[in-house]
Amino acid sequence: MSTVARIELTPVAFADPPLLNVSGVHEPFALRTIVQMWTDDGLVGLGETYASDDHLARLQAVADVLPGLDVFDLNGLRRRVSTVLAPGGIPNHQDPVDVVMSPFEVALLDAQGKQLGRPVVDLLGGAVRDEVSFSAYLFYKWAGHPGRPGQEPDSWAEALDPDGIMRQARTMIEQYGFTAIKLKGGVFPPEQEAEAVRALAAAFPEHKLRIDPNCAWTVDTSIRLARELSGILEYLEDPTPGIDGMAEVAQHTEIPLATNMCVVAFAHLKPAVLADAVQVVLSDHHYWGGLRRSQLLGGICGMFGLGLSMHSNSHLGISLAAMTHLAAATPNLTYACDTHYPWKTEDVIKPGVLSFESGSVRVPSGPGLGVELDDDALGELHEQYLRCGIRKRDDTTYMRTFHPAFTPNTARW
């Protein structure tokens, strides 16, 4: 029997471009916590998650009680996490137990795979596909972070109108071969964003298209825009806030509505299904409790006739590997998954395993997640975390350093 011997949590910061969204603008660095879990027989399992101070404190409290856990005892992991975390309600939020257990579950699966000499995808039921398709995730963005020498402009250039988005789409599709496109909206009035979507549809008629305004639109605007974009969109992601609002929109459009905002925990599935509020749920193992609970989500979606896609936040290679194994082993995850990976320029893993061909990532075949930590890179990005001073993502406050009157655009239009 192999057991957990020791866990190290390392917060890191990696350079992030000034991507615009409903809440403001991405800060110069995005944060992640890297989990290294050593077993008593000398293996190390890897995990990756968020890195705000309060999340780090919860992770550390759990890490302290994991030594001695059998690496195959995923139920034991959940019990220990539930015991450590004070019980709390989740009305509109993610489930804290699922959020905190996720990187440890991934690390345990990585360790299990290394012990057995099998890739994580095999532990999840086996690959139903050898490569996983991802979407080109387009953002309105500034040329660079204002006032940061050496960071302006970045290689992606400015994108503040439909032409800028078109240039970005061409570059991203040329470099990565994506066959699906997601536009992050909620930044400009909906008519301007719809114009960008129509331009994308005309230029890339074979590509699947989505727009995600992150609830920037009212119900009426969402119904109007859904009508305008009918026949163009594969799905419309979170046009408006809340299960009730989404349900109202859904009654007036045949475009499937997708969400990573009103259904973010198992407790939200029943009300969403009863209201017929969404037709596609975006999974994300970082808050759905890890890879196996994300598969459980997939099963529930299948049972209720809901589609399944995958959400992302700014992330590094350990997460991309985990997302790829999960998607490869989940039969009904048939939409191209989201990823922020093309936006990052630094990583903690050794290069060579994860690359995009025709918009897809081949499932790593090595034991476990199949990726290896680069200790030097980890050290450098940890130093960067210590230096940068950012301790929690706050796109709104960062935006207000340039536009003091800015308020998030939620249900603004």
What is the Cα–Cα distance from 204 to 180, expressed in whole angstroms?
9
Nearer to ligand GLR, 173 or 261 (CB): 261
> Cβ closer to ligand GLR: 7 or 281?
281
Is 295 a binding residue for Mg ion by CB under 5 A? The answer is: no
| Contact status: 212 vs Mg ion (CB under 5 A) | yes
**Choices 42-50, 159-167, 311-319, 355-363 (CB under 6 A): range interacting with ligand GLR:** 311-319
- Helix, strand, coil shares of the chain as percentages rounded to 5? 35, 20, 45
Query: Beta 235-237 vs 208-212: how paired, if at all?
Result: parallel
Rounded Cα distance, 296 and 293, in Å: 5
The piece of 39-47, 48-56, 83-91, 204-212 that touches Mg ion (CB under 5 A) is: 204-212
Query: Is 270 a residue of the active site?
Result: no
Q: Is 110 in the site for Mg ion (CB under 5 A)?
A: no
Indicate the residue among 108 and 217 with the shorter CB distance to ligand GLR.
217
User: What residues have CB less than 8 Å from 220, skipping those under 6 apart?
Assistant: none
Which secondary-structure segment (H or E) carries 62?
A: helix 53-63
Closest by CA to 250, choosing from 219, 228, 229, 282, is 219
Which two structure tokens, joined as six digits, stand for 202?
């005309």
Any contact of residue 214 with ligand GLR (CB under 6 A)? yes
CA distance 32 to 13: 7
* Contact pick of 78, 141, 207, 311 for ligand GLR (by CB under 6 A): 311
| Binding segment (CB under 5 A) for Mg ion, from list 66-74, 212-220, 350-358, 388-396 | 212-220
Determine if 260 is a binding residue for Mg ion (CB under 5 A). Answer: yes
| Distance from C-alpha of 252 to C-alpha of 363, rounded to nearest angstrom | 39
**Closest CB 381 distance from ligand GLR, rounded Å:** 19
The single residue listed with the structure tokens 């603008």 is: 25
For residue 207, state whether it binds ligand GLR (rule: CB under 6 A).
Answer: no
The least CB distance from residue 260 to Mg ion, in Å, is 4
Burial bucket for residue 52 (CB in 10 Å: 0-12, 13-18, 19+): middle
**Shortest approach of Mg ion to residue 118 CB, angstroms?**
33
- Coil, strand or helix: which one is 5? strand
Residue 19 near which of Mg ion, ligand GLR, none (CB within 5-8 Å, type-dependent): ligand GLR
Q: Which of 4, 12, 13, 19 binds ligand GLR (CB under 6 A)?
A: 19
The DSSP bridge partners found for residue 134 are 337
Using CB under 6 A as the binding rule, whether residue 309 contacts ligand GLR is answered as: no
Say which of 55, 114, 182, 184 is annotated catalytic: 184
The enclosing H or E element of 310 equals: strand 307-310
Contact call for residue 212 and ligand GLR (CB under 6 A): yes
Label residue 367 left, alpha or beta by phi (over 0 means left) and psi (-120 to 50 means alpha). beta
Number of residues in contact with ligand GLR, rule: CB under 6 A?
Answer: 11
Task: Collapse the DSSP code of 380 into the 3-class scheme (helix H, G, I; strand E, B; otherwise coil) and give the result.
Answer: helix
**Selected catalytic residue, list 55, 311, 315, 340:** 311
If binding is defined by CB under 5 A, does position 314 make contact with Mg ion?
Answer: no
**Which residue, 98 or 237, is less far from Mg ion as judged by CB?**
237
Q: Which residue's CB is nearer to Mg ion, number 137 or number 176?
A: 137
- Spatial CB neighbours of 21, under 8 Å, sequence gap ≥ 6: 139, 184, 186, 187, 214, 395
Give, as ranges, the residues between 252 and 271 that touch ligand GLR (CB under 6 A). 260
CB 112, min distance to ligand GLR, A: 29
Taking CB under 6 A as the criterion, the residue among 11, 21, 31, 322 binding ligand GLR is 21
Determine the residue type at 91.
P
313 near ligand GLR, rule: CB under 6 A: yes
- 268 among known catalytic residues: no
d(CA 272, CA 242): 9
Q: How far is the CB of 307 from ligand GLR (least distance, A)?
A: 15
Q: How far is CA 10 from the centre of its chain?
A: 20
CA–CA separation, 308 and 297 (whole Å) = 9
Nearer to ligand GLR among residue 185 and residue 367 (C-beta): 185
- Contacts with ligand GLR, residue ranges (CB under 6 A): 19, 21, 184, 212, 214, 260, 311-314, 338
- Contacts with Mg ion, residue ranges (CB under 5 A): 212, 237, 260
* Catalytic annotation, residues: 184, 311
